Structure 1
Amino acid sequence: MSASRTSKSGIFDGRLNLEQQRKRAKELLKSARSQQADAQTRIAAHLPGKSIDDLQLADSQLVIARENGFASWPKLKSHIDRITEHQRQIASGHLPILDTPQTLHLRCGSDIRHGLELAGFAGAFMEFSDPFCQGPVPDVPLPDFIETRVRFIASSYRIDFPDALSRLQREYAGLATLGDYDHVVLWFEHDSYDQLILAFLLDFIATLRPQTRLDLICVDRVPGVERFIGLGQLSPELLIWCWDNARAPVSDDMLTFGQAVWPAIRASNPDALRAIIDNGQSPIPCMIAALDRHLRELPDPENGLGLTQKLTLQIIRDHGPITAGKIFGHLMRSYDPLPFLGDLMFWDVLVDMSRAKMPLFTYPEDPSQTPWPDRTLSLSETGNEVLSGTRNFMAFYTGERWVGGIRISGATGP
């Protein structure tokens, strides 16, 4: 297998309960009238100028609705009613007709495959999950490109080379079959893992030009989900919501944009990609922020760290000593402004950070006897100095990593 992401366990799946939301509204009203600061802050954020003395239940319900991403309480209630009906249909086996067997659902991972089946989608499923957000993406003929990617994936994610080669060849070959379907739907979220793959696919499709109906589902938020991380966290009912509310035809402008973005990702310097980001115009609203997050993996001139590296050290400083698995949890849930890594990908980040003349963190246990998520990391003095900006990591980093087509290499001397 590759480093494609599966379901993100422990993250809210979007199922809202109306009675629970009514209870929250009543509790908010009571807390606000009791002069509790947090409740008053929430009221002020959504109802500026509203006097607590005049606050009614309808007002607190409106606050709860807006906190869940809805413009009004009736819209929240309507959403819950629709989701509840979808849930009832799924449970009873009386599923709505959503697609046909001649539909192909294309996703950069396997995380929604089972959810689509449960929701009643009848189409085929295809995974294409080459993680372009890590490793080299050279401008070479496709067979050489695939071999380069396989070598990176096998080495970085500890996968047998033949297994990685077989899978990646199958995924790339599958793309040539898009024209065999009446309808192809691309399911993507807003992070750089997804958006870099989407840019590649749009460039590929623009060249291939399959005579088929093409739709895109690209979401950066879902009503009722306070911190939307990705499609894999959503319940089957919410996948139906995405189908009904977030699906749009793939336009010529999208294909043309992909043809501009993909070469910029592969370039050996960030200038072309920065120009696209600075322009700020995109037919795919999610992509600009993801490209910006991608470039934040470049070394910061002050400390030599990419953003993931910096946040990792901050988490160890704030919560350490701490296991690698818990660091990954904090990174995904709260620290990273646009999280994009799978667990094996994060482990590769930690391994790469260890390629240095002086350690940024230490392992008290014997690493060879402990699974990587259970290894406890402690911030070293050097790590503290790098985090504070008094040392630059690139001065003693000895590894090599890639941000798209940009090679980042460290010192190689003694």
Structure 2
Amino acid sequence: MKILNITNGDGAANIIKQSTVVGDVLPWRDPMHHGPFPSKLSLAELGKLRAAYLAGPDADPTEIERDFQLRDQHLRASENYDKITLWFEHDLLDQLQILQILDWFSGPRTQGAILDMICIDRFPGKSRFRGIGELSPEEMASLTELRQPVTDNMLAIATSGWAAFRSNDPRDLLAFLNHDLSELPFLTAALRRHIEEFPDASTGLNRTERQLLGLMADGVHAPQQLFLQNMEMETTLFIGDWPTYRTLDSLCASGLAACNPPPFRFPSYSREKHAAFNMQHLSITEAGCRVLNGMRDAFDLMQRDGWLGGVNVVEFGAIWTWDKETAEFLRRAI
């Protein structure tokens, strides 16, 4: 039997390769919880867009784009496999990858292939389980006992969820969450965390910005410590280091935080420059304190121009916000 194992990145993929698990391994390397995912783009078109976003405005996306192309070629070759197993966990990154992959498999591409999935939120002996990337090869191999068949209903949920995530109207995601999603048991909590990254209707801050400012107010000042302690404030693994540092840069640019010495500098592969990165001192400003304490909002301070799934948060002179009191999305003119 020819087997393909698809998992969430190189860490988990390498562990599967080192284990007794049989088959080829395809890592899904896209950090999907940030950046654009507009609707009506093919897998190839989306890969090109994601490569440009992940490379950044001043870098060449060619290598990343080539990686996406190789991934997609391997995915298209899945019709040559007898069995396909998905290896994932409960956090937002993995749940979005599951949606994209199952949406692709919902088409007539794997007729006759066995499609199953392993998806966990805990592991015996690990009180602070973060993900399958922290398992040993022996522990990873033991997960094969937890394989469950991917049902037609799971494929239908994924197709609807993927469309809702990529919609340019976030209210479509709320409507999707009103359905019975129990066959993908970690999806609801993950998508609700995604919703919290929209600016709050009262403060103008999203959850990550609020947490980082709160940590600065509590005396955490080093950028790496801010990243690590912010991660500890999440119930499941959420944001990586570079998106965290981009958020810190944005908070400094808005005047809600200050960096000494200015301006905020990102980490570098150079040992000397990386040491300088860790020596930066970030602090909350008076304006940041006023926003954090509810004395004013941040709408006129934060210069937003970003995407959450298929939603361009700021568009046509208005910004999408999340009202947690009424649990609804609101448009606010800017």
User: Whole-Å Cα distance in 2 between the matches of residues 267 and 295 of structure 1?
Assistant: 13
User: Whole-Å Cα distance in 2 between the matches of residues 173 and 327 of structure 1?
Assistant: 39
Match of 1:166 among 43, 61, 66: 66
Task: Give the deviation of 1:190 after TM superposition.
Answer: 0.9
User: Whole-Å Cα distance in 1 between the matches of residues 212 and 180 of structure 2?
Assistant: 29
* Structural RMSD (CA): 2.3
Contact 2:117/2:149 (8 A) holds in 1: yes
State the match for 2:117 in structure 1.
216
- SS of residue in 2 equivalent to 1:393: coil
- SS of residue in 2 equivalent to 1:104: strand
Larger-gyration structure (1/2): 1
Task: Give the deviation of 1:105 after TM superposition.
Answer: 1.4
One-letter amino acid of the structure 1 residue matched with residue 207 of structure 2 = L
Measured at CA, do residues 313 and 273 of structure 1 come closer, stay the same or move farther in structure 2, by a change above 3 Å? same
| 1:96-134 Cα distance to aligned partner (Å, 9 max, x none) | xxxx6x221111211112322332223211112222211
Measured at CA, do residues 337 and 177 of structure 1 come closer, stay the same or move farther in structure 2, by a change above 3 Å? same
Contact 1:398/1:409 (8 A) holds in 2: no
- SS of residue in 2 equivalent to 1:133: coil
State the match for 2:96 in structure 1.
196
Alignment of 1:200-279 (within 5 A): 200-211=100-111, 212-244=113-145, 246-279=146-179
2:22 is equivalent to residue 122 of structure 1: yes
2:293 is equivalent to residue 385 of structure 1: no
User: Whole-Å Cα distance in 1 between the matches of residues 135 and 188 of structure 2?
Assistant: 24
Higher helix share: 1
Task: Give the deviation of 1:183 after TM superposition.
Answer: 1.6
State the match for 1:361 in structure 2.
257
Task: Give the deviation of 1:355 after TM superposition.
Answer: 4.2
State the match for 2:309 in structure 1.
404
One-letter amino acid of the structure 2 residue matched with residue 310 of structure 1 = R
Contact 1:399/1:409 (8 A) holds in 2: yes
User: Whole-Å Cα distance in 2 between the matches of residues 280 and 373 of structure 1?
Assistant: 46
User: Whole-Å Cα distance in 1 between the matches of residues 288 and 156 of structure 2?
Assistant: 44
One-letter amino acid of the structure 2 residue matched with residue 239 of structure 1 = M
Contact 2:258/2:282 (8 A) holds in 1: yes
Which stretches in structure 2 are left out of the alignment for 5+ residues?
A: 266-271, 319-334
TM-score by length of structure 1 reads 0.69
Number of residue-to-residue matches in the alignment: 306
One-letter amino acid of the structure 2 residue matched with residue 180 of structure 1 = N
Task: Give the deviation of 1:280 after TM superposition.
Answer: 4.8
One-letter amino acid of the structure 2 residue matched with residue 213 of structure 1 = I
Alignment of 1:52-91 (within 5 A): none
One-letter amino acid of the structure 2 residue matched with residue 125 of structure 1 = V
- SS of residue in 1 equivalent to 2:138: helix
Contact 2:17/2:25 (8 A) holds in 1: no
Which stretches in structure 1 are left out of the alignment for 5+ residues?
A: 1-99
State the match for 2:185 in structure 1.
285
User: Whole-Å Cα distance in 1 between the matches of residues 173 and 122 of structure 2?
Assistant: 24
User: Whole-Å Cα distance in 1 between the matches of residues 72 and 252 of structure 2?
Assistant: 33
User: Whole-Å Cα distance in 2 between the matches of residues 352 and 206 of structure 1?
Assistant: 39
State the match for 1:104 in structure 2.
4
Alignment of 1:9-88 (within 5 A): none
User: Whole-Å Cα distance in 2 between the matches of residues 282 and 316 of structure 1?
Assistant: 38
User: Whole-Å Cα distance in 2 between the matches of residues 173 and 228 of structure 1?
Assistant: 33
Measured at CA, do residues 325 and 106 of structure 1 come closer, stay the same or move farther in structure 2, by a change above 3 Å? same
Higher strand share: 2
> In percent, how many aligned pairs have the same letter?
29
Match of 1:152 among 53, 77, 91: 53
